[in-house]
Amino acid sequence: MMDYPQFGAGLWNFASYVDRYATDGYGEPRSTIDQIRLAGQVGELTYVDLNYPFTPGVSLDDVKSALAEEKLKAIGVTPDIYLRQHIKGAFTNPDPAARATAMELLNGAADAVRALGARYVKVWPGQDGFDYPFQVDYDQLWRLAVDGMRDLAQANPDLKFVIEYKPREPRTHMFWCSAPKTILGIEEMGVDNVGVLLDFGHALFGDESPAEAAQMLINHGLLWGMDVNDNYRGWDDDMMVGTMHWTETLEFFHVLRKNHWEGVWQLDQFPFREESVENARLSIRFLKAVHRALDLLDEDGLARAQEAQDALAATRIVQNALFAASLED
């Protein structure tokens, strides 16, 4: 029997969605509890990342009970700091009052992390950034983003915070947009409880090599979480893992293994039109094949090929492993 990693998923993998066109939603709204039930049905998940606040009428105790019943644990809590109140930004909002309400939400999420025994608050300030040239003073933007995160981290020294960067959407330019910029910002904070959650698809979308971004974050001691999905590189499509980029997905996990990174393999997908449970199962099926392919990889041969930067030798070895890894274990 394989020694698989633990799998997780953002609870929003099991939500329904709206966008600017289907304003009445891609399905009936689902409560936090509905979403936990669906996550449980997957049968492969150990962890979930929960949006905070929970949907109306759902209490912390309700969540704890549902998680327990589905044998799920909370890995993180993601505060909704990108709703109407904060469409001009959470940390970088020009209005101090809006920054204050964002901070309240973030501290609420921190309390939820404590209550649920989760590992971190996940910070994704989707509305922090700008849309037009000349719209912002970049100095001011930097200070607001960095000072705000530092304040939050210092106010909660018992907790960990992870920033999830992404190049754009819903702003045309998001502030935390790449691995190296996020590292620079965290360095400037001068705190030790802020790290990074690397989203494979965000790195692809931002023309990073996800594997290289992972290595860079690991070298700075900042890779504290990750999630995977897939896309066409031009947008954060949040498609099923393994539908587009086989080699780069394998390479990403190879870098994690090589560095003895022992975290949870999480899903961050938006199945707008697909059934959520099967969507997650298919993705995990692929991730298991990736895990078996890593076992089959000729590591010595690959190390020699990389030492020589020999793309041909490396490709042969990698394809051997991928083709040999059956989907059935």
State the Cα torsion 39-225-172-93 to the nearest 10°: 100
Q: Does 84 bind a copy of itself (CB under 8 A)?
A: yes
Q: Does 68 bind a copy of itself (CB under 8 A)?
A: no
Give the closest residue to 297 by CA, choosing from 277, 315, 272. 315
Q: Does 10 bind a copy of itself (CB under 8 A)?
A: no
Dump the DSSP string for 128-167. Answer: -EESSTTSS-HHHHHHHHHHHHHHHHHH-TTS-EEEE--S
Q: Structure tokens of 218?
A: 């690991």
Q: Does 73 bind a copy of itself (CB under 8 A)?
A: no
Residue type (1 letter), 69: E
Answer for which of 2, 61, 96, 138 binds a copy of itself (CB under 8 A) is 138
Give the closest residue to 179 by CA, choosing from 93, 255, 106, 85. 255
Could you tell me the smallest distance in angstroms from the CB atom of residue 80 to a copy of itself? 8
Could you tell me the smallest distance in angstroms from the CB atom of residue 243 to a copy of itself? 6
Q: Does 104 bind a copy of itself (CB under 8 A)?
A: no
Answer for which of 46, 53, 62, 88 binds a copy of itself (CB under 8 A) is 88
Q: Does 158 bind a copy of itself (CB under 8 A)?
A: no
Could you tell me the smallest distance in angstroms from the CB atom of residue 114 to a copy of itself? 26
Q: Does 155 bind a copy of itself (CB under 8 A)?
A: no
Q: Does 108 bind a copy of itself (CB under 8 A)?
A: no
Residues 253-312 that bind a copy of itself (CB under 8 A): 254-255, 270, 272-275, 278-279, 282, 285-286, 289, 302-303, 305-312
Could you tell me the smallest distance in angstroms from the CB atom of residue 275 to a copy of itself? 7
The interface region with a copy of itself, picked from 2-10, 59-67, 101-109, 226-234 by CB under 8 A, is: 226-234
Answer for which of 31, 41, 58, 180 binds a copy of itself (CB under 8 A) is 180
Could you tell me the smallest distance in angstroms from the CB atom of residue 70 to a copy of itself? 22
Phi-psi bin for 50: left (phi > 0), alpha (psi -120 to 50), beta? beta
Q: Does 172 bind a copy of itself (CB under 8 A)?
A: yes
With 0-12 / 13-18 / 19 or more C-beta atoms within 10 angstroms meaning exposed / middle / buried, residue 219 is exposed
Q: Which lies closer to a copy of itself via its Cβ, residue 69 or residue 278?
A: 278
Sign, Cα dihedral of 113, 14, 42, 205:
negative
State the Cα torsion 131-135-138-140 to the nearest 10°: -110
First vs last C-alpha separation in the chain: 8
Answer for which of 33, 189, 198, 211 binds a copy of itself (CB under 8 A) is 211
Cα distances (angstroms) measured from residue 27 to each of 20, 49, 61, 246: 14, 21, 27, 30
The interface region with a copy of itself, picked from 33-41, 86-94, 145-153, 156-164 by CB under 8 A, is: 86-94
Axis crossing angle, helix 276-296 with helix 246-258, rounded to the nearest 10 = 60
Answer for which of 219, 221, 295, 329 binds a copy of itself (CB under 8 A) is 219
